[in-house]
Amino acid sequence: MLYIKNPLSLISGLIVLPLITSLIIPLIISDIWVEIYHRICFPLYHIPCVRRKSYIQIMDRSRLPYLSWLQKLYCMYCGYGNGVIRYWSQIAGRTEHYWCGIQHKKIVSFVEQEHQKDFSKYDDEEDFKKKYL
């Protein structure tokens, strides 16, 4: 949301505006590509499809009467951008579970991904065979 409380914020906001909004192009192209992959490959491998509308909401905040049209537009943009990335993450997680359900090696600086909690333990052949073979 566009919060402008001082003139410097307005200036910096206007400077980065083209960069931020230009991300819509790769987001849309990637979204189309990921959706094609999702709708073709998941049924072939009997992987449950991800419900798109569970992750992407675009219009809800645009109905708030106290937002300006520009704020509504940016809320729609952020709702799409953040939602579509969460959606892709679910698709990628289910793909990873199907093809390589093994947790990564524990490293202090690595943030474990939520969807990997049920994967077989790293370097545990018995656990892997029990879960996947």
Sequential DSSP letters for 39-107: HHHHHHHTPPPP-GGGT---STGGG-TTS-HHHHHHHHHHHHHHHHHHHHHHHHHHHHHHH--BPPPP-
Q: What is the pLDDT of residues 94-115, one digit of tens each?
A: 999 999 889 999 899 999 888 8
Sign (positive or negative) of CA dihedral 78, 79, 81, 86: positive
Question: Residue 55 and residue 79: Cα distance in Å, rounded?
Answer: 9
Cβ atoms of 119 and 101 closer than 8 Å = yes
Pick from 98, 133, 91: nearest CA to 119: 98
Q: What per-residue confidence (pLDDT) applies to 4?
A: 56
Residue 67 placed within a domain: yes
Residue 60 placed within a domain: yes
Q: What per-residue confidence (pLDDT) applies to 1?
A: 46
Residue 132 placed within a domain: no
Residue 76 placed within a domain: yes
Residue 108 placed within a domain: no
Residue 85 placed within a domain: yes
Residue 71 placed within a domain: yes
Number of domains in the chain: 1
Q: pLDDT tens per residue, the chain (133 residues)?
A: 455 566 667 677 778 888 889 999 999 999 999 999 999 999 999 999 999 999 999 999 999 999 888 888 889 999 999 999 999 999 999 999 999 889 999 899 999 888 898 899 999 999 998 888 8
Range of the domain at 63: 55-97
Could you tell me the pTM of the whole model?
A: 0.83
Residue 24 placed within a domain: no
Amino acid at 87: Y
